[in-house]
């Protein structure tokens, strides 16, 4: 199957979804842990592999300064173009750089970076061993390679969980099946189980392997978020991505989702339920009704150092 260079941003997670969820996850108070676990320092040369729209790279740029350097690479051109525009707008494109590239064939010389990291990429990498070997290759001897992955523990207290959600989830799962062949071709969620990562680090002779992690719970009633922000989260992360997904389904499978078809009726039901849920929750937020439901999954960080040449 032809690898479309905007597959991820079109079908799996949009720019908005990644930006919004990640910017909440990478909180300022995590600076010290990230520095410690990822082997960072003020003038480090860092590479973020599978950087998506560059949210983590921009987080790091608050703390890493020239002559330090931050590079992000991703296969998805839409993400990279967006990340570049953001860097240019901030006038930092001299030390925040991005490239469309394959994580399994990194376009850098051996030993270029002090720290090479990735967030939620290894779960989708068709060949995790090649991925980590590449990360280690472009890392300097003595530098740190880190792989961050989200643990798949289901939260009992999912965001906005209410009786309508069960039907939304059921319909959503059903429609995601339509793109299973695409997901398989792109290896989405079919990479290395995360408990295998430390063994992979061992096999690749990385040293001082450490297991760390972070957890940023998210609660819509959290006082950190002003009302306008809560409203934005509801629309941009929950409602609009579903609308986008359904309209792409209509385009990609015109026969199955033709006017009057059963699939079309169910897709329209999904849209209606999602919009109703959003309106209901917006109404609650504006009238001060709190639910205190918490969602979020912990992220594991496996890090190791590249041994110095004898």
Ligand X SMILES: C[S@@+](CC[C@H](N)C(=O)[O-])C[C@H]1O[C@@H](n2cnc3c(N)ncnc32)[C@H](O)[C@@H]1O
Residue nearest to ligand X (CB): 52
CB count in 10 Å sphere of residue 16: 17
**How much is the CA Rg of the chain, to the nearest whole Å?**
21
Smallest separation (angstroms) from ligand X to the CB of 122: 9
Q: How far apart are CA 47 and CA 182, in angstroms?
A: 28
Is the Cβ of residue 51 or residue 267 nearer to ligand X in the bound state?
51
Smallest separation (angstroms) from ligand X to the CB of 223: 25
Smallest separation (angstroms) from ligand X to the CB of 13: 6
Is the Cβ of residue 12 or residue 168 nearer to ligand X in the bound state?
12
Smallest separation (angstroms) from ligand X to the CB of 141: 24
Is the Cβ of residue 18 or residue 192 nearer to ligand X in the bound state?
18
Is the Cβ of residue 22 or residue 305 nearer to ligand X in the bound state?
22
Q: Structure tokens of 70?
A: 């931050």
Is the Cβ of residue 102 or residue 196 nearer to ligand X in the bound state?
102
Is the Cβ of residue 197 or residue 267 nearer to ligand X in the bound state?
197
Cα dihedral: 148, 149, 153, 156 (round 10): 70
Smallest separation (angstroms) from ligand X to the CB of 173: 19
Smallest separation (angstroms) from ligand X to the CB of 48: 7
Smallest separation (angstroms) from ligand X to the CB of 26: 9
The DSSP bridge partners found for residue 145 are 116, 304
Is the Cβ of residue 47 or residue 159 nearer to ligand X in the bound state?
47
Residues that bind ligand X (CB under 6 A): 8, 13, 18, 22, 50-52, 55, 74-76, 79, 102-104, 119-121, 124
């Amino acid at each position: 199957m032809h690898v479309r260079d905007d597959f991820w941003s079109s079908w799996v997670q949009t720019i908005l979804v990644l930006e919004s969820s990640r910017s909440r996850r990478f909180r300022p108070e995590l600076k010290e842990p990230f520095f410690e676990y990822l082997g960072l320092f003020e003038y480090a040369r860092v590479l973020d592999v599978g950087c998506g729209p560059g949210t983590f790279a921009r987080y790091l740029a608050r703390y890493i300064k020239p002559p330090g350097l931050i590079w992000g690479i991703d296969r998805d051109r839409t993400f990279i173009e967006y990340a570049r525009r953001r860097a240019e707008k901030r006038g930092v494109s001299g030390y925040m750089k991005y490239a469309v590239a394959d994580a399994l064939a990194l376009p850098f010389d051996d030993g270029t970076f002090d720290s090479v990291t990735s967030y939620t990429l290894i779960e989708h990498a068709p060949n995790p061993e090649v991925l980590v070997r590449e990360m280690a290759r472009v890392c300097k001897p003595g530098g740190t390679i880190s792989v961050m992955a989200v643990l798949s523990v289901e939260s009992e207290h999912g965001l906005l969980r209410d009786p309508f959600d069960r039907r939304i989830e059921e319909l959503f799962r059903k429609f995601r099946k339509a793109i299973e062949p695409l997901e398989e071709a792109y290896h989405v969620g079919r990479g290395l189980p995360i408990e295998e990562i430390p063994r992979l680090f061992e096999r690749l002779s990385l040293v001082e392997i450490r297991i760390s992690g972070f957890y940023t719970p998210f609660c819509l009633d959290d006082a950190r978020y002003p009302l306008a922000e809560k409203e934005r989260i509801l629309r941009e992360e929950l409602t609009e991505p579903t609308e986008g997904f359904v309209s792409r389904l209509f385009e990609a499978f015109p026969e199955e989702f033709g006017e009057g078809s059963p699939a079309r009726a169910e897709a329209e039901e999904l849209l209606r339920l999602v919009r109703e849920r959003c309106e209901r929750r917006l109404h609650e937020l504006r009238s001060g009704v709190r639910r205190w439901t918490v969602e979020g999954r912990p992220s594991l960080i496996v890090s190791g150092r590249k041994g110095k040449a004898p």
